[in-house]
Amino acid sequence: MLTETTPIEAFIDALPKVELHVHLVGSASVPTVLELARRHPDGPVPVDERELRAFYEFRDFPHFAEVYEAVSNLVRTPEDVGTLVLGTARDLAAQNARYVELTVTPYTHRRAGMPMPAITEALDHAAREARDRHGIRVAYIFDIPGEFGAEGARGTADHALGHPPEALVGFGLGGIEQCRPPHRDAFRDAFAAARAAGLRSVPHAGEMTGPETIWEAIEGLGAERIGHGFSCLEDPRLVAHLRETQLPLEVCPTSNLRTGQVADLASHPLPRMLEEGLFVTLNSDDPPMFDTTLTGEYRVAAEVFGLDRAGLASLARNAVHASSLDEEGRRAILADIDALA
């Protein structure tokens, strides 16, 4: 039983968690990526562990996107997809995560030759196995790869509407934000169709561009959650809107450091976002690529940002409230957080 004198690290380990912002390919462990690279040695991904870790040293976000695409190109069969889902479930369950909304970019897997039904079947099977083996519930977000523009938007929407996994709950937009403006209408159309089908709008915005991208996510894409979103602080009107609406923001501090969006963790805007009364959740994004974990992000919040047990528990509750869990699932996790806190 934990007490007030229990070290903060033990409290974080025991804290029930929900992960809302983690990518399927970016969640692949180093051993898994090495296995895939050795299985498909025709690409640029190293087959040696030390070289792979060096491969994960990113100069900036475009370089990260290039590396991410190279790793994504190793995922060529439905078995590969299932392996990644189960690996993520295993790793998160070991951190006392109870639920994850896993972002999948199915369009890139289709370009690798996998048909829609095969991808969906692999995702369905893996979600069931994750719950049976690891006791964690897996839901999915289908993510448009922004660099593929209108083609990627239509392809992702077609898959989400025509061959959705049973646990599909959201529709997202990722990639390099500067690539979006020429394809704005195609993205809006895809999101409108997804929302009409009952999917939640959860695009990335305000990670590498300014507040205008967040406004477009809200007004053009009907965002119900924002991935990253920390550039909102540049626009007082936007901050006021986010505070009033309590639109959840999925913040990923170590990711922002590793892709060069902040100079160091100490200067990350998360503490100011909390001071402004914004609705913040804590997430890991692409944990092995950034040498972090969801637990590690909570430790950053404690050790770098100075959050106490109450502050950490509040972030954990925020993730539950911002999730697509049913009410029974939410109540169960919230009760466990309250019992610990």
Residue 78 has a pLDDT of 94
Closest by CA position to 242, among listed 192, 280, 210, 189: 280
Domain span including residue 260: 8-340
Please identify which of the residues 19, 101, 207, 224 carries the catalytic annotation. Answer: 207
pLDDT of residue 40: 86
Q: How many domains does the chain have?
A: 1
Q: For 149-186, write each residue's pLDDT tens digit.
A: 999 999 999 999 999 999 999 999 999 999 999 999 99
pLDDT, average across residues 306-320 = 98
- Decide if 249 contacts 223 (C-beta within 8 A): no
Q: For residue 61, what is the domain's CATH number?
A: 3.20.20.140
Give a yes or no: residue 186 inside a domain: yes
What pLDDT, on the 0 to 100 scale, is given for residue 77?
A: 92
Residue 3 forms part of a structural domain: no
Q: Report the pLDDT value the prediction gives residue 102, as an integer from 0 to 100.
A: 98
Report the pLDDT value the prediction gives residue 140, as an integer from 0 to 100. 98
Asked if residue 2 belongs to a domain, the reply is no
Q: Return all residues near 81 (Cβ < 8 A) that are at least 6 apart.
A: 24, 75, 109, 114, 119, 122, 123, 126
Average predicted confidence (pLDDT) for the chain: 95
Strands 249-251, 226-228: pairing kind: parallel
Residue 133 CA to residue 258 CA, distance in Å, equals 32
**Is the pLDDT higher at 1 or at 140?**
140
In a domain, 1, yes or no: no
Render pLDDT for 51-88 as a digit per residue (tens, 0 to 9): 999 999 988 888 988 988 899 888 989 999 999 999 99
Is the pLDDT score of 118 beyond 70?
yes
Mean local confidence (pLDDT), 28-36: 88
pLDDT digits (tens, 9 = 90+) for 201-234: 999 999 999 999 999 999 999 999 999 999 999 9
Distance CA 272, CA 173 (A): 26
CA–CA separation, 291 vs 109, rounded Å? 25
Residue 328 in any domain: the answer is: yes
Give the per-residue pLDDT at 2: 63
Does residue 3 carry a pLDDT above 70?
Answer: no
Tokens of 57: 């040293």
| pLDDT of 101 | 98
pLDDT of residue 169: 98
Residue 82 inside a domain? The answer is yes
Residue 245 belongs to a domain: yes
Name 333's Cβ contacts closer than 8 Å, sequence gap at least 6. 16, 18, 98, 99, 320, 325
DSSP code at position 199: P
Say whether 328 is catalytic.
Answer: no
Q: Classify residue 88: in a domain, yes or no.
A: yes
- Given a contact cutoff of 8 angstroms between Cβ atoms, the answer to whether 140 and 112 are in contact is no
